[in-house]
Amino acid sequence: MARRTRLSRLGGLALLLPLVGCGGGAGASAGSGAPPVLRTLADFSLVDQSGVQRSLKDWAGHPFALAMIFTCCSGPCPEITAAMHRLQQELPTGSAIRLVSLSVDPATDTPAVLASYAKACGADSARWTFLTGEEAAIHAFIRDSLALAVDGRRPDVAEAFEPTHSSRIVAVDKQGRVRGYYDAREELGWRALRDTLVLLEREAP
């Protein structure tokens, strides 16, 4: 049943891809200068959709967009993933910009599940990575390093049957520093995110 639910939501994603973008947030806007450094990310040890261990150094020299999602989400995750897919489609093929989707529900989102999700989303594995790992480590990274809200499944609370998390996409520079937060539901914010990433790609390492 969970697999059918996940795939049905991915089917809905196909309808969203040409329609939705990211919303506004803290960071650069179109036509502005380079955004300020807001935070420096702590290192992490997580696993990608191929089962390969990953850490922050794997993105050294690459600005990237970092989004929080989970594959069975009934909330904003399809819109967030659609915004990431739009970045993949609209950024130049030879761009150094990368995309990272981090699952907030790793008990469900194993590497195999994320691999299926990535394929259904049309993700280019050379540019777009999906990460999972230990829930405690992931949630600590989101709260402490990204300064964003996240909460896990609460089987004791009927209203909290799904994880909750921020819908903002984070722009990270070549040195692993946060340079902006962007809501995932508005066209203006999607454009600001894209423009920020392009600016970060032009910065010296």
Angle at 183 between CA 72 and CA 20, to 5 degrees: 70
Distance, in Å, from the CA atom of 82 to the CA atom of 98, rounded to the nearest integer, reads 15
- Is the confidence at residue 2, as pLDDT, over 50? no
This prediction has a pTM of: 0.82
Buried b (16+ CB within 10 A) or exposed e, 108-134: bbbbebbbbbbebbebeeebbbbbbbe
| 78: CATH | 3.40.30.10
Q: How many domains does the chain have?
A: 1
- Is the confidence at residue 1, as pLDDT, over 50? no
- 3-state helix vs strand vs coil in the chain, percent to 5: 35, 20, 45
Distance, in Å, from the CA atom of 157 to the CA atom of 154, rounded to the nearest integer, reads 5
- What is the span of the domain harbouring residue 89? 2-202
Sign of CA dihedral 9, 11, 14, 19: negative
Contact 190, 182 (CB under 8 A): yes
Q: Which of 104, 155, 122, 128 is nearest to 16 (CA)?
A: 122
Q: Is 179 in a helix, a strand, or coil?
A: strand
Element (H, E) at 130: strand 128-132
Write out pLDDT tens, residues 122-180: 999 999 999 999 999 999 999 999 999 887 665 555 555 667 789 999 999 999 999 99
> Predicted confidence band at 88 (pLDDT cuts at 50, 70, 90)?
very high
